[in-house]
Structure 1
Amino acid sequence: MLDDHVRHHDGVITLAQALRVGLSEKAVRRRVQSGHWRRCSRGVYFVDDRPFTDAARIRAAVWGHGDRAAASGLAAAYWHSLTTFAPHVVEVTMPRNSHGRSRAGCRVRRRDLVRTDVVERRGLRVTALPLTVIEAAVRRGGGPALVDAALRRHTELQPLWAAHVRNKGRYGSPAARRLLHAAEGGAKSEAERLFKRLLTKAGITGWTANQRVAGYEVDFVARVAGYEVDFVFRAERLAVEIDGFAFHSASDDFQHDRIKQNAIALAGFQVLRFTWLDLTEYPERVLAEVRRAISAR
């Protein structure tokens, strides 16, 4: 039972868990004194015959703050596989009336969470995925990319809004609300304004906004109007389309965009597409691609 527990819990074990699998306090002390177990914090140990992984570090940090603590923020995002890399500082959420304080490598937040907002994954209490997304997104290292990735692969917008409303007043709540509004569809217009500012600041000229291209004559009285493009560099035959969040991919919209893009390309235009995330997270890369496309003509 001891081996099974250690194997399934990243090598971390608490004193209470050790007693439940049949060890005595004296046996635990012997293992610590011999160096086979390493003490992480009061009542929390690591079986030191394996690498001390990020998962072990997060588990030890949370268990070290008691059985009512939960991983939150970027630590919870890592635990839910929303992020690739674990944060250096483990955020732990504890009830308001609990004792204990932040230790090296940990940040404690005191807040009473409703049952809906806490789940157990791989034996560890963590904030539920919707709350994790909106909290981690406003931390350094999270951002709109985390929201977009979560909406594409893990959840939907409605549960995120519900978690936000249940937890108003928490750290980062206004920023999370802005991200959710953007994800709802408001990102495209803001992204267009941001792209204009980027072009202007970079001194890139020769473009017009909201112009139609790819029109053609049917006969001497009829003309197909073509498609409206967000930004057009006519002299360079470059069309730039701005999208909102990448997760918006309804089948009808997706099909229309492909037809539109093919028609514009057949009319002799190179087409670049940027999302709100591109413009907010990687503006220098966006400008470099525009410059490269312009200079290629």
Structure 2
Amino acid sequence: MPLPYPHRAVMSVELGQVMGADGARLRSEVAAETGTTSVSRWIRDGRLLRPLPGVLVVPDRAGEWRTRATAAVLWSRRRLCGRSALYLADLVTEAGGLVHVATGTGRHLTPRRPDWVQVRVVDDLDGPVRQGLPVTRDVVSLVDCWGHAHSERGGRRAVEVARGAVIGAVRRRRVTADQVHDEVLGRPRLPGRGLLLELVAALRAGAQSEFEVWGMQHVLDVPGLPAVQQQYALETAIGTIRFDGALEAERLGIELDGAAYHRSPDHWARDRRRDAAALALDWATLRIDYRRAHADPAAARAEIAAAFHARAPRIARERAVI
């Protein structure tokens, strides 16, 4: 018996393949491949969802961050920004619950969007592609992440993530402290702007961790002592070593040992080699660990003062003899 519609081919559509690896595509693209009638039926039957205007996702992927991020890029036709961009750039380890997307000043996106999408209008829409998705430049993303963390929708954990991202990006030389500073100057209404400028100042001075940033303010600044030189470089037999702080005239180096980094046996052995190389040049190394410094910063400052006063007379006598 002949088929009732011999001009049409009978075909079974595998939606997983049609929708791609991220489970999100533009409705127009899916319709072009499968037909508008099929798309309307799949939506009606719940086989496809419409989280954003013009975008379709498969239901079992709708709650995944990657699928939401892809949907947001397709909808906005622009780039991910802020914490979302930093996550794809490997500058933060947690994507967070929101998807942050940037759009240009000349394009207005419909307010019809779910609460997991955060839209920011930016002038600078340049940037690379990270893990298959377009993102804003690292320095722009860092400052955007900071602003959101210090806004009403942020919170304590968001602030910690933003601070860690800025410090880590500068330490890994993904951006410079000067680049962050220049970006902040162009954002007069940035939430938490003054706090970010304070952090950038510490990074410019050589801080490379949250503990070092805190230590510069609460440990290394000792009343009655000369100003400590931060990130002081000393040439030794094992190469250049850098002290977190140094009192050069007294040949006293100060190291702020972080809670996690210096716990490793390999790092402990490396530190001992550094200390021995410095001692060979008559440099003493004073190590102040994270837990002790935070528990009693005044005692840590007193240790530095004691070491300074113990070294100063002997160094002065050596110079007098010379």
Q: Counterpart of 1:45 in 2: which secondary structure?
A: strand
- Taking the aligned partners of 2:165 and 2:256, their CA distance within structure 1 comes to 23
Compare CA radii of gyration and give the structure with the larger one: 2
> Which of 16, 24, 28 is the aligned partner of 2:28?
16
The corresponding residue for 2:138 is 129
The one-character-per-residue Cα deviations of 1:70-129 (angstroms, maximum 9, x if unpaired) are: 221112212222212222232222122322236412222222224xx3333344332122
> Which of 143, 150, 157 is the aligned partner of 2:176?
157
1:229-244 equivalence runs, <5 A: 229=253, 241=256
Does the 8 Å CA contact 1:138/1:175 hold for their aligned counterparts? no
The corresponding residue for 1:105 is 116
Gaps of at least 5 residues in structure 1 are 200-206, 213-224, 231-239, 247-253, 275-283
Pairing 1:145–2:161 present: no
Q: Counterpart of 2:34 in 1: which secondary structure?
A: coil
Q: Counterpart of 2:107 in 1: which secondary structure?
A: coil
The corresponding residue for 1:89 is 98
The corresponding residue for 1:36 is 47
The 10-residue stretch of structure 1 (83-92 or 161-170) with the greater mean CA deviation from structure 2: 161-170
- Taking the aligned partners of 1:16 and 1:159, their CA distance within structure 2 comes to 44
Structure 1 residue 193, shift from structure 2 partner: 2.9
Does the 8 Å CA contact 2:100/2:119 hold for their aligned counterparts? yes
1:110-259 equivalence runs, <5 A: 110-114=121-125, 117-140=126-149, 141=158, 142-153=161-172, 155-157=174-176, 160-161=179-180, 164=183, 167-169=186-188, 171-172=190-191, 175-185=195-205, 187=207, 191-195=215-219, 227-229=251-253, 241=256, 258-259=274-275
Query: TM (normalized to structure 2)?
Result: 0.57
> Which of 19, 25, 42 is the aligned partner of 1:6?
19
> Which of 8, 27, 31 is the aligned partner of 2:38?
27
**Greater RCO (CA < 8 Å, at least 6 residues apart):** 1
Does the 8 Å CA contact 2:72/2:99 hold for their aligned counterparts? yes
- Taking the aligned partners of 1:211 and 1:170, their CA distance within structure 2 comes to 34
The corresponding residue for 2:287 is 271
- Taking the aligned partners of 1:48 and 1:5, their CA distance within structure 2 comes to 14
- Taking the aligned partners of 1:123 and 1:189, their CA distance within structure 2 comes to 35
